[in-house]
Structure 1
Amino acid sequence: MPDFAAETAPFRPELLAHCYRLLGSIHDAEDLVQETYLRAWRAFGGFEGRSSVRRWLYKIATTACLTALQTRARRPLPSGLGAPADDHRVAVAAADPSVPWLQPIPDALLDPAAVVAGRAGVRLAFIAALQLLPARQRAVLTLRDVLAFGTAEVAEILDTTPAAVDSALRRARGRLAEAGPVQEDLAEPAGQGRLLDRYVDAFVRADPGALVTLLRADVELEMPPIPTWFTGRDAVVGFLSRRVLRPGAWRLVPAKANGQPALLEYEAVGGGFAAHGVQVLTVLGTRVARITAFNDPALVPLFAAASRDLRRPSSSSS
């Protein structure tokens, strides 16, 4: 009998990405991947090889995610709930912990080759747009357009007909087109590392003048769980300079999330620094087009642990 771990373990990173696309939460995705492997282990003795192990695992994972989504609300970003403010002097709404906000995912947990090639399908704009779709359309679109399963394969995974898959795919593509462009240029611009260094330096030194030179004129800033979000360089820099930037108040550690540059935020508290959240930056050309600041301290150790695990030598190399 084939070894379960040897047959199934290589697919864990891509299954995690798949569950994350459907659920919008790294915590929920990890739970559902665990559930997928438990179900697969229990059923492995009866697996007769009528489909590939990969497609069989995707069927289990997709079914588990769709079942979970029957009782879970979609996970938006603030930009999915209301219009932006273009004046930094507006009253900022209180954080709303009752909303199940979209979460970022560490690149370290994903398939590195897929992320580098831009095939991971986990850019924040894309994940946020997926949340606009009904769960089944979400599944069809990701299985067909991201993972490139054939129509018949998707029909088998979802226990439906090819005609139903094609119909759901047309509706899903149409809904995403109405939402506007969701796939930014995935090519990493030359000098992006230098841009990130300058951004960190300006942020830590609380230098709004330096920050202005790094942002696009139409830059956007959103900060879940705060529903208020801003558009336009004047509004974004005005908000940051008035309410966020203070010399010595922040320590930022570079990371990668959703195939994009990210920063782990630590805020000065007492005599040290405490975890505050994760910033994910969307870079277009040579400037920052969007700052998504996830103000959730619990995300920081998750990202830090993922990075440590990535750097740790494997037992086979010791």
Structure 2
Amino acid sequence: MLAEDPDTFLSDAQQYHRELLAHCYRMTGSLHDAEDLVQETYLRAWKSYARFEGRSSVRTWLHRIATNTCLTALEGRQRRPLPTGLGAPSSDPVAELVPRAEVPWLEPLPDDSDPSDIVGSRESVRLAFIAALQHLSPRQRAVLVLRDVLQWKAAEVAEAIGTSVPAVNSLLQRARAQLAAVGPSEESTLPAPDSPEAQELLTRYIAAFEEYDIDKLVTMFTEEAIWEMPPFVGWYQGGPAIGALIHHNCPAEKPGDMRLIPLTANGQSAAAMYMWDNDSGKHVPFQLHVLDIVDGAVAHVVAFLDNSDWAKFGLPESL
């Protein structure tokens, strides 16, 4: 039953906020942009509520508005990569770090306090999947997310984005092919962050950093493990290279200089790293690590240096 007025409708529609945020995040790769686009979606829905005929559910109607809001916002914008997505080979771990502040880097997504609230599966917000979506055109991205994540029918997608069913099927075919070339394989499903396997490894990972035992940390990585840390353009492969990078470039000098808080992001195991700051006499935000854990080892770490969103992860300003 429809609400009697737009304001009541908007209040009722807030129950879809989390899944609309996840949808806009999949489309844009940016938490900042997703939050703005969800607000724009609600504003557009409020303005056009009188024309809503109820032929679809409110949830479907809101996702349709959100999708078109995202497509409009993405016109002429650069994609949001990770360093591995720039096409350069792996970097020398002892070379100077090169930042690229002008690149609109991919951003991490805070998990809701209740993991069951993550829309779809964890795989649909996994960092590797979001990074792979960035290789698609906005319309390919929209079709693939609506069809394969939200499980819409081709006719529903065609109506939503104003095209034909054959065009939707063609966009989906190309999107799936491109995603298969750059995205995570089906065999690389990650354990849930609250699983004993993931929790045990994350505990050891945190302890190794806090003890400044980089040799122990190196043993936790898979042979082909990757480390990247936007806004620096380099990426590093293999435990020894990652260890050398940390030894050479990490500002920590002794046990206790780093403190880490376990959390989850993008449906994955994660940790917020705080670094000792002599000037303030506190540990201050440094990096947010999002981990791929595969077969009891760390296969990939994205260490985000932008800490402007830490409050949205429920993290304190200092320790």
Is this a same-fold pair by TM over 0.5?
Answer: yes
- Could you tell which deviates more after superposition, 217-226 or 185-194? 185-194
Structure 1 residue 175 corresponds to structure 2 residue 181: no
Q: Structure 2 residue aligned with 1:107, among 91, 102, 111?
A: 111
Amino acid at match of 1:197: T
Deviation at 1:23, TM superposition (A): 0.4
Deviation at 1:299, TM superposition (A): 2.5
Whole-Å separation in 2 of the counterparts to 1:234 and 1:176? 30
Q: Structure 1 residue aligned with 2:147, among 121, 144, 147?
A: 144
1:37-77 CA deviation, whole Å, 9 max, x = no partner? 11111212221102111111011101110000003210000
1:158-209 CA deviation, whole Å, 9 max, x = no partner? 1111111000000101111222535531333542211111110101111012
Q: 2:266 maps to which residue?
A: 258
User: Which structure 2 residues correspond to residues 1-318 of structure 1 after superposition, within 5 A?
Assistant: 2=3, 3-5=8-10, 7-85=12-90, 87-89=92-94, 91-108=95-112, 112-113=115-116, 115=118, 118-119=121-122, 121-182=124-185, 184-188=188-192, 190-244=196-250, 245-247=252-254, 248-270=256-278, 271-304=281-314
Amino acid at match of 1:276: F
Whole-Å separation in 1 of the counterparts to 2:196 and 2:66? 37
Amino acid at match of 1:299: D
Amino acid at match of 1:138: R
- Could you tell which deviates more after superposition, 248-257 or 282-291? 248-257
Query: 1:158/1:229 Cα in 2 relative to 1: closer, same or farther (>3 Å)?
Result: same
Deviation at 1:87, TM superposition (A): 4.2
Q: Which runs of 5+ in 1 are unaligned?
A: 307-318
Amino acid at match of 2:136: L
Whole-Å separation in 2 of the counterparts to 1:180 and 1:101? 17
Query: 1:197/1:117 Cα in 2 relative to 1: closer, same or farther (>3 Å)?
Result: farther
Amino acid at match of 1:57: L
Secondary structure of 1:107's partner? coil
User: 8 Å contact 1:125–1:182 — kept in the other structure?
Assistant: no
Q: Which runs of 5+ in 2 are unaligned?
A: none
Whole-Å separation in 2 of the counterparts to 1:120 and 1:20? 14
Identity of aligned residues (%): 47
Secondary structure of 1:67's partner? helix
Instruction: Tell me the C-alpha RMSD between the 2 structures.
Output: 2.0
Deviation at 1:293, TM superposition (A): 0.2
- With the length of structure 2 as denominator, give the TM-score of the two structures: 0.90
Query: 1:298/1:142 Cα in 2 relative to 1: closer, same or farther (>3 Å)?
Result: same
Deviation at 1:95, TM superposition (A): 1.0
Whole-Å separation in 1 of the counterparts to 2:120 and 2:36? 27
Amino acid at match of 1:95: P
User: 8 Å contact 1:251–1:265 — kept in the other structure?
Assistant: yes
Whole-Å separation in 2 of the counterparts to 1:213 and 1:117? 34
Deviation at 1:142, TM superposition (A): 0.5
- With the length of structure 1 as denominator, give the TM-score of the two structures: 0.90
Whole-Å separation in 1 of the counterparts to 2:222 and 2:119? 24
User: 8 Å contact 1:119–1:146 — kept in the other structure?
Assistant: no
Secondary structure of 2:93's partner? coil
